[in-house]
Amino acid sequence: MAMRGLMHVSKLLPATARVRVSSFWSGVETGPPDAIFGLVEAHKKDPRPNKVSLAIGAYRDDQGKPWVLPTVRKAEQRIVDKNLDKEYAGIMGYESFCKEAYKLAFGEDDNFKNNSYVTTQTVSGTGALRLAGMFLNKFYPEAKTIYLPNPSWPNHNPVFKQSGLEVKSYRHCNFQNMTFDAAGCYDDLRSIPNKSMVLFHACAHNPTGIDLSLDHWAEVSKICKEKNHLVFVDMAYQGFATGDLEKDSAGLRLLAKDGHKLVLCQSFSKNMGLYGERCGAMTFLTESESEAKAVESQIKIIIRPLYSNPPITGARIATEILTSPDLYSEWLDELKAMAGRIFEMRGKLQQGLINEGSTRDWSFIHTQIGMFCYSGMNQEQVKRLQDEYGIYMTKDGRISMVSLSSNNIGYVAKSMHEVTK
Ligand code: PMP
């Protein structure tokens, strides 16, 4: 009865009033789908049985299945056996996790043990970047611009823009031969204003797979010192590039040894396969303990109204692995296995293209490193791969190497040859 009464009243309302009541969001325009997650959706809907998704950077085994690391399964079991509660972590997350994350990044060298610093647990790598962006926007008035390598992970741009920073770039990739544009990078670092904020990928540069050698890092460090730039390191792939934690953090450690009071963002998505657990960390190296305390207090003030405190499960898993000698040594082998499989796929893709008769120089597939291959294919070729062959990758021609397997690599090589000959 009441319902009927309501309908009756709404029919009596003038048309304009009715429209106003039911259209809060009429001014909202449909936005574009996310460059990567949009492709995942499109791939899901594609009915072709031989379709291949090479868009997202999430590790797959050689059967194309997501791989939960055995150490993660064991750590989970140990955590269950401890019968822990589900209380909130502190605003900065778990102290033990933060300590371990710092140690993992910087090693146990005395140089670093005695540093003053502040580390906070974050909502994975993306959350760390956003938090750092917000902190810098508030407390680094010297520069409102952050310089990213060109190209960079597509999400860097909106992360920093939405943190209130301006985003510009410096040269990273020599697009002619797909190598590091060292001269261009050095020039740009010298010509941007002093005290600029400059972001570097610690290893496994996304999307190019083109990393800096130690000599490059030394030069970059020198220039950034001369120019007094604030160095910002995004390390989303430690251990995932070469399979060796030390090698993958060598650039970061060089910068820290040179005295840069840098900002570091870490992710455990890839190296522990904790993608959906959202496990990461952000560290500021500081001049003194009192500075660290002040920075920490302000980080808390940003986090508290944002998400209050971070999720606990991923950090518990990571801490269990990092502090249990048996799990830790098993994890080192898992890292080697993941990096090794990617390396193998690189060789097979290059060989597959040669076998198809491609006369292009694909040698860079093997020299690039990490999760992605920056194939050099243009947008039209990428579109043809999607439309004609059901192979999905980002518009910039970036191939997620972890999605290649013995089952699909022949088909992918053949299709790539078809659109590039
Ligand atoms: N930085 C870079 C360069 C990345 O490639 C990624 C993941 N694609 C991230 C940060 C953040 O990843 P997550 O939020 O999953 O930790």
Residue 259: left (phi > 0), alpha (psi -120 to 50), or beta?
left
Strand order in the sheet with 197-201: 116-123, 279-286, 263-267, 230-235, 197-201, 145-150, 166-171
- Secondary element (H or E) of residue 5: helix 2-12
Q: What amino acid is encoded at 59 in this protein?
A: Y
CA–chain centroid gap for 86, Å, is 28
Q: How many Å apart are CA 190 and CA 277, to the nearest integer?
A: 40
Sign of CA dihedral 203, 403, 351, 393: negative
Q: Whose CA is nearest to atom 6 of ligand 1?
A: 236
> Nearest Cα to 259, choosing from 97, 366, 111, 101?
111
Whether ligand 1 lies within 6 angstroms of the CB of 269 is answered as yes
Q: Which two tokens stand for residue 143?
A: 């520069």
The percentage of the chain sitting over the pLDDT mark of 70, rounded to a whole number, equals 95
Helix (H, G, I), strand (E, B) or coil at 308: coil
- pLDDT score at 333: 98
- pLDDT score at 19: 54
Given 234, 248, 331, 362, the catalytic residue:
234
- pLDDT score at 18: 53
189 and 229 in contact (C-beta within 8 Å)? yes
Is 25 noted as a catalytic residue in this protein? no
- pLDDT score at 273: 97
Helix (H, G, I), strand (E, B) or coil at 199: strand
Please compute the mean of the pLDDT values over residues 354-376 and round it to a whole number: 92
Whether ligand 1 lies within 6 angstroms of the CB of 201 is answered as yes
Q: Is 140 exposed, middle or buried (0-12, 13-18, 19+ CB in 10 A)?
A: middle
User: Residue 341: pLDDT above 60?
Assistant: yes
> Is it true that domain 88-323 has CATH number 3.40.640.10?
yes
- pLDDT score at 17: 53
Q: Which fold has domain 33-67+338-420?
A: Aspartate Aminotransferase, domain 1 (3.90.1150)
What is the per-residue pLDDT across 215-228, written as a single tens digit (0 to 9) for each? 999 999 999 999 99
Residue located via tokens 């088909």: 411
Enter the DSSP assignment of 230.
Answer: E
Q: How many Å apart are CA 62 and CA 219, to the nearest integer?
A: 39
Q: How far is the CA of 255 from the centre of ligand 1 (A)?
A: 21
- pLDDT score at 48: 94
Q: How far is the CA of 155 from the centre of ligand 1 (A)?
A: 8
Whether ligand 1 lies within 6 angstroms of the CB of 280 is answered as yes
Enter the DSSP assignment of 35.
Answer: T
Whether ligand 1 lies within 6 angstroms of the CB of 234 is answered as yes
Q: How far is the CA of 270 from the centre of ligand 1 (A)?
A: 8
Neighbours of 60 (CB within 10 A): 18
What is the per-residue pLDDT across 142-201, written as a single tens digit (0 to 9) for each? 889 999 999 999 999 999 999 999 999 999 999 988 899 999 999 999 999 999 999 999
Is 153 noted as a catalytic residue in this protein? yes
> Nearest Cα to 371, choosing from 234, 232, 238?
238
Q: What amino acid is encoded at 175 in this protein?
A: F
Enter the DSSP assignment of 151.
Answer: S
Whether ligand 1 lies within 6 angstroms of the CB of 125 is answered as yes
Q: How many Å apart are CA 296 and CA 282, to the nearest integer?
A: 11
- pLDDT score at 16: 55
Neighbour-count burial for 163-186, b at 16+ CB within 10 Å, e otherwise:
bebebebbbbbbeeebebbbeebb
Enter the DSSP assignment of 84.
Answer: -
Q: Which atom of ligand 1 is nearest to the CA of 125?
A: 16
Whether ligand 1 lies within 6 angstroms of the CB of 206 is answered as yes
Q: How far is the CA of 337 from the centre of ligand 1 (A)?
A: 21
Domain residue spans of the chain: 33-67+338-420, 88-323
Helix (H, G, I), strand (E, B) or coil at 119: strand
Q: How far is the CA of 378 from the centre of ligand 1 (A)?
A: 24
Whether ligand 1 lies within 6 angstroms of the CB of 126 is answered as yes
User: Residue 23: pLDDT above 90?
Assistant: no
Is 61 noted as a catalytic residue in this protein? no
User: Residue 30: pLDDT above 60?
Assistant: yes
271 and 311 in contact (C-beta within 8 Å)? no
Q: Which atom of ligand 1 is nearest to the CA of 152?
A: 3
385 and 391 in contact (C-beta within 8 Å)? yes
Q: Which atom of ligand 1 is nearest to the CA of 371?
A: 5
Q: How many Å apart are CA 90 and CA 17, to the nearest integer?
A: 48
75 and 323 in contact (C-beta within 8 Å)? no
Q: How far is the CA of 206 from the centre of ligand 1 (A)?
A: 9
In this structure, what is the dihedral angle of CA atoms 33, 36, 38, 43, given to the nearest 10 degrees?
A: 160
Q: Whose CA is nearest to atom 1 of ligand 1?
A: 236
- pLDDT score at 35: 81
Q: How far is the CA of 385 from the centre of ligand 1 (A)?
A: 26
Mutating to test ligand 1, I would choose from 39, 131, 153 the residue with most ligand atoms within 8 A of its C-beta, which is 153
User: Residue 15: pLDDT above 80?
Assistant: no
Neighbours of 110 (CB within 10 A): 8
Whether ligand 1 lies within 6 angstroms of the CB of 124 is answered as yes
CA–chain centroid gap for 26, Å, is 35
Q: Which two tokens stand for residue 309?
A: 């405190």
201 and 335 in contact (C-beta within 8 Å)? no
User: Residue 4: pLDDT above 50?
Assistant: no
Whether ligand 1 lies within 6 angstroms of the CB of 348 is answered as no
Whether ligand 1 lies within 6 angstroms of the CB of 153 is answered as yes
Q: What is the mean pLDDT of the chain?
A: 93
What is the per-residue pLDDT across 382-401, written as a single tens digit (0 to 9) for each? 999 999 999 999 999 999 99
Q: How far is the CA of 409 from the centre of ligand 1 (A)?
A: 25
User: Residue 332: pLDDT above 90?
Assistant: yes
Given 51, 74, 153, 217, the catalytic residue:
153
Whether ligand 1 lies within 6 angstroms of the CB of 236 is answered as yes
Please compute the mean of the pLDDT values over residues 46-50 and round it to a whole number: 94
